[in-house]
Amino acid sequence: MIYNYRFDRSLVSGILQRLQTEDTLSQGWGGGREANLNVADDDFVANCRTYHHLKTTRIPSNLTRIRDLKRGDLLVTPHLPTHGEVSIHVVADDFPACYQYVRDDDHQNHRIAIERSYGLGHEVSIRSLGLAAWYGKLQWLRLPIIPIPQHESSFRSIIDKLDKAPEYRFGASLLGEYLDELRKSVLLQLRGKLEDIRSSGTEISFEAICEQLLVSAGYRVVRRNQYDSEGGDVDLRCVRERSDASPFEAGQTTLCVQVKKHTGTTDDSSVKQLLAMIADEPSVDGCVMSLGNSFTEEAQEMANNNGILLMTGDIVCRLLLEELGRQADA
C-alpha cells in the first residue's frame, strides 16, 4: 500500500535529521514527555483526543493506520526535504516491528522504521509531470496518513528511475509538457475505445469511424467493399471536388482506401490489395488506414514506391480527436 504522509512542517529539520541519521520517520500527536500515547494501545484514540483537547476522534483514529503498515509500503511526504519537493520512504517491517514510541519534547513520539528513502537529495519536485494527478488532490489530503493507491504507479515509476539513475532529477514540468502528456493519454484512451468496436458491418465500427474522418476531410464515399478476382480489395472509394481545395482547379480527385482494424504491426497485404485495384487507374490515390502501431518495412517500401499513404492507429486517433473537437463546437 502507498500512503500520503502529513507531518508538522514547522519541525522539518528534526524530522529530516531522524530520517538521515536514524532511518525513522516521525509523527506528532504523541504526548511529548507528559503522556504515553502509544498508537499500539487499545485506548490510544480516546487518550489522544483527551490529551490534545480535540473536538473529534478524527485525527487519533486516522493515526491508527500506522497499525496497518507492512514491509515495503510507501510513505509519500510532500514538502520534505524542502517546500515544493516530495520524498518517498519504504517501510522496513510489518507493524508492530516497524513502530517505536519514543519520548520527545516535540511530541514526535511515533517513529516508523524506514528501509530506504528516495528524494531526500532534492530529486523530486511535487510539480513534476508524472505527479500532476496526485498534486492536484494534495490540498484535500489533510489527515496524517491517507491511502493513495490510485497514485502508486506514478511513485513506483519514480523509484524505478532513481534506482537506475540516482542522479536523475524530476524537475517542475512546464504546461507544454503536461498538455503533451494529456494528449498522449487521451489518444491512448481513444485507441482503446476503437479496439473494442467491430471492424466493419455495423453503424458503430472502425470502418465507419474512418469513413467519418474521410467525409470530414471533404470526401464523398461513392462505393464500398469493391473486389476483383485477383486479390484486389478496396473498402472505401471516395471522391472530392478539386474546387473545394482551390478555386483554380476543376474536376474530381479519387481516393481508394483500405481499412484494417489491426493491432501491432500491419503487413504488406493491405498495400497489395489496394494496388491490385488501382493498377489501371494512375490518377487514383491510395491510402491504408490501420489501427495498428506500425507497418512492416515491406509495406512501407511498397507504399513509398507506389505513392500509397499509410496511416497508423496513432494518426487515425489524432484525426478522430480533431473531429470530436469540431463536433463539440458545432
Domains and CATH numbers, the chain: 2-173 (no CATH), 206-329 (3.40.1350.10)
> CA-to-CA distance for 28 and 65, rounded, in angstroms?
14
Q: What is the mean pLDDT of the chain?
A: 89
| pLDDT for residue 248 | 67
C-alpha cell at 71: 514491509
In percent, the amount of the chain with pLDDT more than 90 equals 58
Q: Cis before residue 81, ω within 30 degrees of 0?
A: yes
Residue whose grid cell is 519536485: 125
CB atoms inside a 10 Å sphere around CB 306 = 13
Q: What is each CA distance from 79 to 2, 15, 19, 122, in whole angstroms?
A: 17, 12, 14, 10
Predicted local distance difference test score (pLDDT) of residue 246: 64
| Residue corresponding to grid cell 502529513 | 6
DSSP state of 203: S
Buried-state track 47-65, b at ≥16 Cβ within 10 A, e below 16: bbbebbeeeeeebbebbeb
Q: How many CA atoms lie within 13 A of 75 on its CB side?
A: 31
Q: What percentage of the chain exceeds 70 in pLDDT?
A: 97
Q: Can you say how many angstroms the Cα of residue 165 is from the centroid of all Cα atoms in its chain?
A: 22
- At residue 99, the 3 state secondary structure works out as strand
Q: Which mean pLDDT values do the consecutive 10-residue runs of the chain (330 residues) have?
A: 91 92 92 88 92 87 93 94 92 95 89 94 88 86 90 94 91 74 87 93 93 92 84 88 71 90 91 87 89 93 88 92 80
pLDDT tens sequence across 232-281: 789 999 998 877 766 766 788 899 999 999 889 999 999 999 988 888 88
Phi/psi of residue 269, nearest 5 degrees: -65, -35
Q: What is the pLDDT of residue 245?
A: 63
219: Cβ contacts below 8 Å, ≥ 6 apart: 238, 239, 240, 255
pLDDT at position 142 is 83
